Chain A
Amino acid sequence: MAPRSDPQKLLRQVMARFVREEVAPVARQVDESGRFPRELFVKLAQMHAFGLRYPVKNGGAGGNATLYCIMCEELAQGLLSLAAIAAKQCLMATNFLHRFADQEMRQRYFLPALRGELVGSFCLTEPEAGGDLGRVSTTAVKDGDGWVVSGMKTWITNAPVADFFTVLCQTDPEQGIRGLNFFFVPRGTPGVQVSPGFQTLGTRSTEISEVAFNDCRIPARFLLGQEGKGLGALLAILAEIRAMTAALALGLAKAAYQAGFQYAKERSAFGKTINQYQLIQSKIARLATDIWAAELMLYDTTAKIDAGQRPSKESMMVKYFATEVACRACDEATRILGAYGYSMEYPVQRYFRDARFLLYGGGTHEVLQTNIARELGF
């Protein structure tokens, strides 16, 4: 057979160039604007990036979790908020539509979302329910030939710009987590109320807010999946969501590491460049080692996902580990840069702020560690 290119290498190369040519020159400006990066979002859509992990026959590119994480990792090296937005559009915002929507919804919502014409959002967290899904209090109640959704969701990424929501609701409080189901709610549905965006420390151009569903009436077909199977549907992609978060963390860690590495080679102090000092060498060596470990863990996990497994424990471990590496890398990079790490003119401060975003998305590390321990049988 004639030789073929390695899709992983090629995708990484294209995305790295996209970051270099399209993202890096505007990253600071986008971050400071605090606005959804519509232009970059549309550019990614025009590259057909949002269908990356869906099958070709359904309008996607026929990729897999590994390719998806490679793209997320590369984008995160340029601007974490853009990477997070793209990651969401590829997976959580469209996945339930992809699996459960009827033909009409597919044409009206799913394919336009892949084309970047519509922004999707995913509503899990509530004011009183974060990692503990059993406490979800947003309800969906059967009403004639449809459903009525009521409740409050918070920390909803992209909500201020979203055109539709995939909302986790309780249909039968008696059933606990077995009563959880996902519903599709278009933005224009009467009763949907989106709060102004939150002021956040990092990922400023990721607009995040609360969404209130005040007795929102939706047709029966907007129940995504079979009733009572909502939790199972979430578990089917949970490992991939966590791997994706780890990929964002890995990308950010690499960006911070690179910034520190470059600066240390150029900056002189006391007559030699600071990379010749052992304390700086120690930081660089530890970060490089951590980043390698995170990378191995991540792509081992995605390989398992692509082999059809559900590596729940591994995905939690890598999400936890890669994020800690990212936080450490951003911290160390700002130290290596000295006062320049404190200056708003250099991107390192943005990495430092953005890293905190990763600590919460995909589960806090306190919850994750508990769950890892539980999976270890402890």
Chain B
Amino acid sequence: MAIWVIADKCTGCGLCVKACPYGAMQVQDKLAALGPRCTQCGACLEACKFEALGSDLADEPRPDLSGYRGVWVFCEVQDGALARVSLELLGQGARLAAELGQTLATVLLGEDVEGLVPELAAQGADRVYLAQDAGLAAYSTLAYTRVLSELIATHRPNILLLGATPLGRDLAPRLSRRLDLGLTADCTELAIDPVDGGLWQTRPAFGGNVMATIVTPTARPQMATVRPGVMALGPRRDGAQAEVVRHPVRLEPGDLLVRLLASQAQGQRPVDLGAARVIVAGGRGCGGPQGMELLAQLAQALGGELGGTRVAVEEGWLGQARQIGQTGVTVRPDLYIACGISGAIQHRAGCLGARYIVAINRDRRAPIFSVADYALAGDMFKIVPAMLAALKGAA
């Protein structure tokens, strides 16, 4: 197996360099050249417009996957209620199911959770696979893996979606390995391949600097965890009915090896900017602790976290754990609001993974604006209070 460059045809255009997910392709002396990092994934073959890449990679025979039907969403239950991410997945699952002409089903596990079925139906589920047992009352990796793998083996779904929550990211890989399924983590976009009906799973890679679209060609169901807060809810169908399929649960001692001894809410929970969905960050332009306090109010109003630049931390306006950038943490929230930050490369490198970047700065030429989706040239001490007032008025 190999990929090679056909020198006569190669124009050195560099399309293959851009396409290579592994940074293995380079242009040297106006010719493409493969480096040792090549994994023969074939991404360059598709990118080349000049038929300048040869390969003997054979197309693998594809198994018949037509027996796998239906889109499944795993339901996460928190304190007796459905987790928001599960509702988002139902919304997205319904769209995928409609496109495929298949049904949308949910998997509901717990001790006494049947009362949630009407809500699942209202959120678009055609069918609910229900497994109830005292051993499922609290999440346990092994018990949940057993029940889910039994359900999948019995009912053979086409797609299985889980929230990219701590629970989903604990359960999904375990399940994928037990059933030999492909799994894509932390997707931000899902779509159906119009040609073969496969699931296009798009996720950020390299700290959000690259987006990758991934498929699972040979195994079913196609599994993905989906980042919370990304998918839109579907329309409510109040009064809708869902078929309930009860699954008998028989847990074995080996499924309950890990015992929960204690669970303690963290009053003063450690700052985890990496997990924050919204971050309001301040830099030199904050001028001092008062400016930072203003941003803390905005962060609170938006349900987000406060962060800052190296300067802000060195000045003592913020704790070290809130420093964003090369020497601090790299963040990838959905929304990043940079206030009074000029945007040195060290800082930009830490926040570029954000889905949306808002920059508020007095200097119209500040480099932060070059990476912003929304640019507000102006005084943060006027704009931020205006935002706070508007948010308060709306609440």
Direct contact of A and B (CB under 8 A): yes
Task: Tell me the A residues contacting B by CB distance below 8 Å.
Answer: 20-21, 24-25, 28, 262, 265-266, 268, 345
User: Could you tell me if A268 and B327 are in contact, using CB atoms closer than 8 angstroms?
Assistant: no
Which partner residue on chain B sits nearest A262 by CB separation?
A: B345
Instruction: Check A28/B314 contact, CB under 8 A, given A262-B344, A262-B345, A266-B345.
Output: yes
Report how far A268 CA is from B370 CA in the complex, Å.
Answer: 13
B365 contacts which chain A residues (CB < 8 A)? 268
User: Could you tell me if A24 and B327 are in contact, using CB atoms closer than 8 angstroms?
Assistant: yes
A21 contacts which chain B residues (CB < 8 A)? 327
A345 contacts which chain B residues (CB < 8 A)? 311
Q: Which 10 A-B pairs have the closest CB atoms?
A: A268-B365, A266-B367, A20-B327, A266-B344, A24-B327, A262-B345, A25-B327, A266-B345, A28-B314, A21-B327
A265 contacts which chain B residues (CB < 8 A)? 345
User: Could you tell me if A25 and B314 are in contact, using CB atoms closer than 8 angstroms?
Assistant: yes
Q: Which has the most chain B C-beta neighbours within 10 Å: A20, A262, A266, A345?
A: A266
Instruction: Give chain B's interface secondary structure class.
Output: helix
Report how far A28 CA is from B313 CA in the complex, Å.
Answer: 13
Chain B nearest CB, measured from A20 CB (Å): 6
Report how far A77 CA is from B234 CA in the complex, Å.
Answer: 55
Number of interface residues of B (CB under 8 A): 8
User: Is B297 located at the chain interface by the 8 A CB criterion?
Assistant: no
Which partner residue on chain A sits nearest B313 by CB separation?
A: A25
Chain A nearest CB, measured from B293 CB (Å): 22
Report how far A25 CA is from B311 CA in the complex, Å.
Answer: 10
A28 contacts which chain B residues (CB < 8 A)? 314
B311 contacts which chain A residues (CB < 8 A)? 345
B320 contacts which chain A residues (CB < 8 A)? 25
Chain B nearest CB, measured from A193 CB (Å): 39
- Apart from A25-B327, A266-B367: 13 A-B pairs, beta carbons within 8 A: A20-B327, A21-B327, A24-B327, A25-B314, A25-B320, A28-B314, A262-B344, A262-B345, A265-B345, A266-B344, A266-B345, A268-B365, A345-B311
Q: Which of B326-367 contact A (CB under 8 A)?
A: 327, 344-345, 365, 367
Report how far A265 CA is from B367 CA in the complex, Å.
Answer: 10
Chain B nearest CB, measured from A110 CB (Å): 36
B367 contacts which chain A residues (CB < 8 A)? 266
Which partner residue on chain B sits nearest A29 by CB separation?
A: B314
Report how far A21 CA is from B327 CA in the complex, Å.
Answer: 7
B344 contacts which chain A residues (CB < 8 A)? 262, 266
A-B contact pairs, 15 of them (CB 8 A): A20-B327, A21-B327, A24-B327, A25-B314, A25-B320, A25-B327, A28-B314, A262-B344, A262-B345, A265-B345, A266-B344, A266-B345, A266-B367, A268-B365, A345-B311
Report how far A262 CA is from B349 CA in the complex, Å.
Answer: 13
Report how far A68 CA is from B380 CA in the complex, Å.
Answer: 49
Which partner residue on chain A sits nearest B365 by CB separation?
A: A268
Which partner residue on chain B sits nearest A345 by CB separation?
A: B311
Which partner residue on chain A sits nearest B314 by CB separation?
A: A28
Chain B nearest CB, measured from A270 CB (Å): 11
Report how far A25 CA is from B365 CA in the complex, Å.
Answer: 28
Chain B nearest CB, measured from A93 CB (Å): 31
Chain B nearest CB, measured from A66 CB (Å): 27
A268 contacts which chain B residues (CB < 8 A)? 365
Report how far A262 CA is from B367 CA in the complex, Å.
Answer: 12
B345 contacts which chain A residues (CB < 8 A)? 262, 265-266
Chain B nearest CB, measured from A293 CB (Å): 27
A25 contacts which chain B residues (CB < 8 A)? 314, 320, 327
Report how far A152 CA is from B320 CA in the complex, Å.
Answer: 46
Report how far A24 CA is from B365 CA in the complex, Å.
Answer: 28
A24 contacts which chain B residues (CB < 8 A)? 327
Chain A nearest CB, measured from B123 CB (Å): 47
Chain B nearest CB, measured from A231 CB (Å): 46
Chain B nearest CB, measured from A337 CB (Å): 12
Chain B nearest CB, measured from A309 CB (Å): 37
Report how far A12 CA is from B70 CA in the complex, Å.
Answer: 55
Query: Please, what's the 1-or-0 string for B215-255, where 1 marks a CB less than 8 Å from any CB in chain A?
Result: 00000000000000000000000000000000000000000
Report how far A185 CA is from B344 CA in the complex, Å.
Answer: 50
B314 contacts which chain A residues (CB < 8 A)? 25, 28
Q: Which has the most chain B C-beta neighbours within 10 Å: A25, A265, A268?
A: A25
Query: Please, what's the 1-or-0 string for B308-323, where 1 marks a CB less than 8 Å from any CB in chain A?
Result: 0001001000001000
